[in-house]
Amino acid sequence: MNDLENLPLPHDGAQSFEVARGAVAWRAGATFLPGRGFVEGVTVLVVDGIITAVTDGPEPTGAAAARPRPGTTLVPGLIDSHVHLTFSGGSAVIDDVVATSDVTLGMVALYHAQLALCRGVTTLADCGARGEVALGARDAVASGRTVGPRILASGAPITTTGGHCAILGGCADSLEDVIRVARRQVAAGADFLKLMLTGGNLTPGSNPGMLQYPAEVVAALAAEARRLSRPLVVHAHSAEAVALAGSLGASVVAHGTCATSEGIVLSPATIAALRAGGTAIDATITVGMPDDGDDGQVMSERAQVRKEMLPVFGALHDAGVPLLAGTDAGVTNVRHGATARAVLALESDVGLQREEALLAGTAHAARALGLGGLTGAIAPGLAADLLLLDGDLRHDPTAILRPAEVWVQGALVARHGYLALDANRRKD
């Protein structure tokens, strides 16, 4: 796994340099760099989709003469560590899925991925779709047959018969079943494994407050994920589940709701388990937001849980547990493309510093998903997944909501919130 601290930082650029035709250079008003935060006067050079130089010295000359962009901020493309591309984000998510064919769901998935792309998301992780639909959407983008963000997909999440999101098809009850389904997902091309360790609010009859599996089954799955070199993302709404996932070294705990019989309680033992596991908490902070359309009792409960979790997320962050800016986009009343809002909310509602909130939606997410050596930061050797914001993010936090340009692997794919369809070209 990549270590951001070891990436080369910009040199002082004593020498100017000439670059070849085909290179592209950015010179935004401010550029967000690993380990340095927002820096002025930085030139970012890209050749063949890869960042080849980051310098605060003289601009490159030749074909790649940088266009100065005063009043803008260049940040890494956002990474949404938790979406459901095949979910509608409406009020009847499960019914919408059940009523839709795989072919149509695949098209819907791409549409949702493109919505996110237009809002600055260059990588997203689909944490559960029916069958292999999200894997197909991933492949359509990866092969250049359509425009989209880089997609990671888990396939159908592993869950119990009748358990949380069982309709997606990843049911497994015994230890042997769980291992078999995990192997099947990876054989089908899953980029990571998703386990529903507790029930969820989306699934009537499942119990969000209790484990769906005993600890030995989860331990066996965690070991299998390691053997298969796949990150394990664990859905957890109880303190017991959060601590168990951390103690077994899960890459990410989604939601991280620390529910106990005495209400929401973050114990020192839970913190210790997460730290020992190197586990990130995906706060899915966009679930239950006050302005997401409160349409009754369900939303009110979610909003209440969110409110109670805000100080818990702050405490986790203070204790050194990385927070991620996943959205859970697609679940009830959570629209696709809300990742920038999640970053903003981690600052405004949880209290993270702006730089830290941005890391939650970029480098920390890349690292947790095993992509740290590929994307998530503006540094030489990484993919040119870049987001140019219309505004100075140092002084205006809402600039994150104004994507002027979005670039994936060096290709301009969206401009001012609209897809750049001229990027729709096959690579073969």
CB of 281 within 8 A of CB of 313? yes
282 binding Zn ion? (CB under 5 A): no
Q: How far is the CB of 176 from Zn ion (least distance, A)?
A: 26
Which residue, 238, 281, 235, is CA-closest to 261?
Answer: 238
Binding segment (CB under 5 A) for Zn ion, from list 91-99, 309-317, 327-335, 392-400: 327-335
In the window 101-140, what residues touch Zn ion (CB under 5 A)?
A: 127
Nearer Cβ to Zn ion, position 46 or 254? Answer: 254
Q: How far is the CB of 354 from Zn ion (least distance, A)?
A: 26
Show the beta-strand stretches assigned E in 230-384: 232-238, 252-260, 263-264, 280-282, 323-324
CA gap 336, 233 in Å, rounded: 20
Q: How far is the CB of 358 from Zn ion (least distance, A)?
A: 22
CA gap 237, 249 in Å, rounded: 17
Q: How far is the CB of 309 from Zn ion (least distance, A)?
A: 15
Computed over its alpha carbons, how large is the radius of gyration of the chain?
21
Nearer Cβ to Zn ion, position 127 or 338? Answer: 127
Nearer Cβ to Zn ion, position 191 or 328? Answer: 328
Token pair 């529903």: residue? 196
- For residue 272, the 8-state DSSP code is H
CA gap 319, 279 in Å, rounded: 12
349 binding Zn ion? (CB under 5 A): no
Binding segment (CB under 5 A) for Zn ion, from list 11-19, 156-164, 286-294, 321-329: 321-329
Q: How far is the CB of 82 from Zn ion (least distance, A)?
A: 6
Q: How far is the CB of 48 from Zn ion (least distance, A)?
A: 35
328 binding Zn ion? (CB under 5 A): yes
Which residue, 340, 336, 375, is CA-closest to 76?
Answer: 375
Q: Percent helix, strand and coil across the chain, each rounded to 5?
A: 30, 25, 40
Q: How far is the CB of 326 from Zn ion (least distance, A)?
A: 8
CA gap 89, 83 in Å, rounded: 10
Phi, psi values for residue 231, rounded to 5°: -60, 145
Indicate the SS3 state at residue 303.
helix
Interface size with Zn ion, residues (CB under 5 A): 2
CA gap 67, 85 in Å, rounded: 35
Amino acid at 48: D
Nearer Cβ to Zn ion, position 80 or 328? Answer: 328
Phi, psi values for residue 118, rounded to 5°: -65, -20
Nearer Cβ to Zn ion, position 165 or 384? Answer: 165
Token pair 């030139």: residue? 43
CA gap 245, 384 in Å, rounded: 33
Nearer Cβ to Zn ion, position 328 or 347? Answer: 328
Q: How far is the CB of 324 from Zn ion (least distance, A)?
A: 13
Binding segment (CB under 5 A) for Zn ion, from list 129-137, 270-278, 310-318, 325-333: 325-333
Q: Which two tokens stand for residue 390?
A: 């219309």
β-strands 386-390, 252-260: how paired?
unpaired
Nearer Cβ to Zn ion, position 168 or 273? Answer: 168
Q: Which residues contact 307 (CB under 8 A, 6 or more apart)?
A: none
Per-residue string for binding with Zn ion, 77-106, x by CB under 5 A? ------------------------------
Residue number with the smallest Cβ distance to Zn ion: 328
The CA–CA distances, whole Å, from 323 to 153, 249, 301 equal 20, 16, 23
Binding segment (CB under 5 A) for Zn ion, from list 105-113, 145-153, 295-303, 323-331: 323-331
Q: How far is the CB of 256 from Zn ion (least distance, A)?
A: 12
Nearer Cβ to Zn ion, position 127 or 414? Answer: 127
Nearer Cβ to Zn ion, position 75 or 281? Answer: 281
Nearer Cβ to Zn ion, position 247 or 284? Answer: 284
Q: How far is the CB of 328 from Zn ion (least distance, A)?
A: 4
Q: Which two tokens stand for residue 56?
A: 């605060």
Q: How far is the CB of 252 from Zn ion (least distance, A)?
A: 11
Q: Is the dihedral of CA 407, 411, 412, 414 positive or negative?
A: negative
Nearer Cβ to Zn ion, position 98 or 276? Answer: 98
CA gap 44, 110 in Å, rounded: 30
> Binding residues for Zn ion, per CB under 5 A?
127, 328
